[in-house]
Chain A
Amino acid sequence: MKKKRISIVDYGVGNLLSVSRAFSYLGQETELISEPDKIENAEYLVLPGVGAFPDGMRELQSRNLVSALCRYTRSNRPLLGICLGMQMLFDMGTEHSETRGLGLIPGQVVAIPQTNLSGESHKIPHIGWGDLNFSASTKNLSKNLPQACSVYFVHSFMAATDDSFVVASTSYGGWKIAALVNRANVWGAQFHPEKSGQVGLEILKNFFNDSL
C-alpha cells in the first residue's frame, strides 16, 4: 500500500512528536508544516495542540494559518483536530476571555463544570481514560473499534455543540462530554488518540484510510 503523507500543523503549541510518531508507527509518512501554502497543499491534515484556547488561536493567526486552514477544509480533504486543535474548530472559546475560533463546526468551548452532576466538587482537569459512547452511525473514525473502549483525556474545557456533530461522547462526573466530533470532512478528538493505545491507533488508521 502506498504511504500516505500526513501533514501535522506546527504552530509552536503542544506535543507534535507523539502525534507524528503514532502515524510513523502506522507506516505513514509524516511532515511538520507551518506555512499557509503547505497547509493548502496537504493531503491529510492534523491540527494538534495543548494549552489555552486564546494562545492557540494567537499562534495560528501570527503565522497566517487561519484562512489557510479554512481554505483547506473547503477542498473536502480530511482535517483532524486533537485536544486544543479540536476545540479551535468551533466558533468560540471562553477560556480566559471570549476568543473566536476557526468556525468550522458550530458551537462553543466552555469550562467543564466544577462540580459533578450531584453537585460535589470533582477533579479538574479531567485526566485519565474515559469510555467512548458512540452515537448511531458507526462508520467513519470508529470503524473496527470494539463496542466498549476507552481513550485518554487531559482537558479542562469542552465543546458545547449540537448532538448532530457529536460522533462519540464520554462521561465525566456524570456530565456528557463531546469526545469525537465531525462535520463533513472536519473531525475533532477531545482525547489524545496518540496516547490511547490500540484504540487510538485504530482511530488514526481510519483517518488516513479514507473511511471517512
Chain B
Amino acid sequence: MPRIRLIARLDIKGANLIKGINLEGLRVIGDPNVFARKYDEAGIDEIIYMDSVASLYGRNSLSAIVEKTTSEVFIPITVGGGLRTLEDVQRTLRSGADKVAINTAAIRNPEFITEVANRFGSQAMVLSVEAKRTERGNWEAYYNCGREKSDRDVVEWVQEAVERGAGEVLLTSVDREGTRRGFDIELVKAVTTKVRVPVIASGGMGTIDHLIDVLNRGKADAVAMADILHYNRETTPNIRQRIKQSGFDVRTT
C-alpha cells in the first residue's frame, strides 16, 4: 500500500503568502511563517515554498523566510523560484531548505539539473514543471510563472530531466491551478507512468475527492495543496482520514 505524502504549497511574493488563479491574479493571504507553523502542527508531511515572481525579476528573496521557518518548523522543506546558479542553490540549502525546485533555469540550461544533482544529490533536485494542455492533446512546459512557452513536451521533458538527475517532480497544471476544478488527472498519469521518481501532483484541488482521484487514477506519489488549506476549506487530519479510508497509507502522527 503506497504511502502518500501530503505537502502544503505556499506561494510567496515578497514577504507574503499569496494565492493566484492559473498562477496569476495574486491575492495576499498572510504571513508564510504563521501558515507553515500551523500546517506543521496539523501534521503536514512537507512544505514547499515557491517564490512566485522571483524568476521574472531574476531574484530570489525567500532566504529570510526560509531561515525563520526552519528555526521553528522541523519537517522537510522544498524551496523554488528564481534559483539560477549553484550558488543560489547552495545559499538556499544553507538557509535551511532540504530540496530545491527548479524550472526556468533547467529549461534554459538542462545541464544545470545534472550539476545540482552531482553537487547536492538527486534527492535535493526537484524538477518543477508548469504544464499547459495544447490543442494537440499533449502538454507543453512553461516557465516564468506559466507565462513563457518552452516548446517542450512535458512528458519528454520530465523523462530527460530524470535522466539528467532530477530526483522528484513537482507537476503543476497551470490550467487547473487555483481553479478548484480538480487535478489534471491525465497529465499526472502521463508522467507517473513514464518515470520512476516520485511525482507531486499540484494544481486544482477543490475537494478531498479530487485528491483521492489523482491517487487512484493519476498514481500520484504526493499531493501539493494550497488554497484548500489556506482558506481552511479542509483540515489535514480530515484529509489523512479520508486517504486511509480509500486504501492508501499516510504517515503515522
Instruction: Assess the B71–A149 pair: CB atoms within 8 A.
Output: no
Q: With A17-B94, A128-B5 given, is the CB distance from A150 to B74 under 8 Å?
A: no
Q: How far is the CB of B229 from chain A (nearest CB, A)?
A: 17
Q: Which B64-93 residues sit within 8 Å CB-CB of chain A?
A: 70-72, 74-76, 93
| Complex CA–CA separation, A50 to B76 (angstroms) | 14
Is there a chain B Cβ closer than 8 Å to A131's Cβ? yes
| Complex CA–CA separation, A16 to B5 (angstroms) | 25
| Complex CA–CA separation, A106 to B50 (angstroms) | 44
| Complex CA–CA separation, A149 to B121 (angstroms) | 27
Instruction: Assess the B252–A195 pair: CB atoms within 8 A.
Output: no
Is there a chain A Cβ closer than 8 Å to B134's Cβ? no
Is there a chain A Cβ closer than 8 Å to B20's Cβ? no
Which of B72, B96, B123, B253 has a CB less than 8 Å from the CB of A127? B123
Instruction: Assess the B96–A150 pair: CB atoms within 8 A.
Output: no
Which of B3, B98, B121 has a CB less than 8 Å from the CB of A195? B98
Report the nearest B residue to A155, measured CB to CB: B123
Instruction: Assess the B72–A25 pair: CB atoms within 8 A.
Output: yes
Q: Kindly specify which of A30-38, A40-48, A90-98, A196-204 makes contact with the partner chain.
A: A196-204
Instruction: Assess the A123–B196 pair: CB atoms within 8 A.
Output: yes
Q: With A24-B71, A51-B121, A197-B75 given, is the CB distance from A129 to B3 under 8 Å?
A: yes
Q: How far is the CB of B15 from chain A (nearest CB, A)?
A: 21
| Complex CA–CA separation, A196 to B2 (angstroms) | 20
Prevailing SS type, chain A contact patch: mixed
Q: How far is the CB of B140 from chain A (nearest CB, A)?
A: 28
Prevailing SS type, chain B contact patch: loop
Q: How many residues of B contact A (CB 8 A)?
A: 26
Q: Which residues of A contact B122 (CB under 8 A)?
A: 125
Q: With A148-B252, A149-B253 given, is the CB distance from A195 to B123 under 8 Å?
A: no
Which of A18, A24, A25, A154 has a CB less than 8 Å from the CB of B123? A154
Is there a chain A Cβ closer than 8 Å to B251's Cβ? yes
| Complex CA–CA separation, A15 to B96 (angstroms) | 8
Is there a chain A Cβ closer than 8 Å to B153's Cβ? no
Is there a chain A Cβ closer than 8 Å to B45's Cβ? yes
Q: Mark B106-127, 1 if CB is under 8 A from A, else 0.
A: 0000000000000001110000
Is there a chain B Cβ closer than 8 Å to A74's Cβ? no
Q: With A50-B121, A127-B123 given, is the CB distance from A201 to B94 under 8 Å?
A: no
Instruction: Assess the A15–B98 pair: CB atoms within 8 A.
Output: yes
| Complex CA–CA separation, A154 to B198 (angstroms) | 13
| Complex CA–CA separation, A154 to B252 (angstroms) | 17
| Complex CA–CA separation, A21 to B95 (angstroms) | 11
Report the nearest B residue to A154, measured CB to CB: B123
What would be 29 A-B contacts, judged by CB atoms less than 8 Å apart? A15-B93, A17-B94, A18-B74, A18-B96, A21-B70, A21-B71, A21-B74, A21-B96, A22-B74, A25-B74, A50-B121, A51-B121, A127-B167, A127-B198, A128-B5, A129-B5, A129-B252, A131-B252, A148-B252, A149-B252, A149-B253, A150-B252, A152-B75, A154-B123, A195-B74, A195-B76, A196-B74, A197-B40, A200-B74
Which 4 A-B residue pairs are closest in the complex by CB-CB distance? A129-B251, A150-B252, A148-B252, A150-B251
Chain B interface residues (CB < 8 Å from chain A)? 3, 5, 40, 43, 45, 70-72, 74-76, 93-96, 98, 121-123, 167, 196-198, 251-253
Chain A interface residues (CB < 8 Å from chain B)? 15, 17-18, 21-22, 24-25, 50-51, 121, 123, 125, 127-129, 131, 148-150, 152, 154, 194-197, 200-201
